[in-house]
Each structure stands twice: as C-alpha cells, then as structure tokens.
Amino acid sequence: MKIFTVILIGVILSFQSALDVSADNTETVKAFMDDQQPGWRALKKGDFTHVNSAKDTWSWKEGVLYCTGKPVSVLRTTKQYENFEMVVEWSHQKSAGNSGVFVWVTPESIKNLTDKGKPGLPDGIEVQILDHGYTERVKANGGKTDWFGTNGDVFPVRVKMTPFPPVSPNGQRSFPRKHLAKGHGEWNHYYIRAINGEVRLWVNGEEVSGGTDCDPSQGFLCLESEGSPIIFRKLRIRELP
C-alpha cells in the first residue's frame, strides 16, 4: 500500500510539473531564416523597375541598394508574387527616417502612379520601416504619437486586412508585440512571410506583427522612398506553393 501511495504521489507530482512547464513555456518561435536553402534567390537590380521616382532616387553599388528618399515614390518588382518569404536588411541613414516594404501592391495603383508620374505611394499592405527619431519629431511638432509605432507596424493602405493584436487606437494597424528595431545607422533584419492572404513580420529574429484576411493577396512588392536616405542589402525571396 505504501509503495502504491508513493507511486501515485510521484505520478501526480510529475503531471503537475508538466503542467507548470507548459504554462511557463514562453520560448519565442524563431522564423525560418536560413536563406541559403533551396528555393531562395537574391533580388537584384534586374528584378526591380522604377515607378514614380527620380533618376537618382535608387542606385545599386556592389549589391547594396541606396535610396535618397526623394521624391516620395516606390521601386517595384518586375513580376507579381502571391505566396512567398522575403528577407530585407535595412539601415536608416538619418534620425526620423521613414520607409517601408509594400506587399501585394495592386497593378491598378502602380499604373496610376506611373501614368501621373507624381509623388505618391501605391495600394497594398505596408510593412513599416520607421526610425525611432520619428516619434520625437512628431512630439516636438505637437502631434500625437499613439497612432504609429517604430518597431514594425503592419497595416493596409487602401486595401483590406484584419490586423493581429495589439492594434492601433483606430484598429487599422498591427502594432509590434516586442520592440526590437535598432536606431538609424544600424542594420535591421526583416523576415516577411506572406501566404494565403496572411502577412507576418519578424524583426531581428522574432515575430512581432502581421495581419490576415488580406485582399488582394497577390501583387507587386515595392520598396518605399519617403523623405530620408536609407540603404537596403541582402534582399532575398523564396516563392511558396
């Protein structure tokens, strides 16, 4: 009887221990970022085309893409994508820099920008690239700073998306769950996974934000020029079924 009681207590304690471990297991799931595996390829100069930029807005040098930030415009991929993984490394060159990666940009909005040839941004899902100094600039000008973040917001621009929580006060943006972006002059790593109408963003190795029910869920990918110099490198993509 004593032996049975000891065994029973041991089983109960083991079961309770398993529950405790499960409850406390907050290990972050890392993104797949081994972009040397089959299917990955570099995005190079020939994979992009100007939309409404100036001749000197974008320039390539030894695999690095330089953007002056002027005028407000985009550089788009030559082809459209549906399901894919994408890696982008970026570095703002000035405080308060603003930029972004656009996902599933509509051909209609690209045509509109091209035909007009004027400053502007297309319709699609924006993965924000914003320097921390932007918050201080808005504060200094007396503006509100609760409607945006500087660590990887994801939000729709004239298209549809249901943002993952936490969300901005107006419910439009997916705010990052963790603040992991580095400041201007430093390199940041974005891993973007867009599949079946869902976009997820990892910043420097950890998933932070995203959205689902995106419509449309196919289109061009764009890099954004928005007023401040920025550098991109190690642009890679892998298309998925």
The model's pLDDT over 71-97, given as tens digits with 9 standing for 90+, comes to 999 999 999 999 999 999 999 999 999
Q: How many domains does the chain have?
A: 1
pLDDT at 139: 96
Residue 69 domain-assigned (yes or no):
yes
72, part of any domain: yes
Do the domain assignments include residue 15? no
Q: Is residue 12 part of a domain?
A: no
pLDDT in tens, 156-170: 999 999 999 999 999
User: Do residues 150 and 168 make contact, with C-beta atoms less than 8 angstroms apart?
Assistant: no
Tell me whether residue 172 is in a domain: yes
Report the distance separating Cα 39 and Cα 12, nearest Å: 48
Range of the domain at 179: 28-239
CA dist., res. 81 & res. 104, Å (int): 7
Which 8-state DSSP code applies to residue 47?
G
pTM of the model: 0.86
- Cα 95 to chain centroid distance, Å, stands at 19
pLDDT of residue 38: 84
Instruction: Compute the distance between CA of residue 144 and CA of residue 30 in angstroms, rounded to an integer.
Output: 33
Residue 131 lies in a domain: yes
Dist. CA 203–CA 178, nearest whole Å: 9
Which CATH number goes with the domain that contains 99? 2.60.120.560
Residue 17 lies in a domain: no
Bridge partners for 191 per DSSP? 87, 202
32 has a pLDDT exceeding 90:
no
Query: How long a stretch of residues is the chain?
Result: 241
Is residue 95 in a domain? yes
CA atoms within 13 A on the CB side of 239: 9
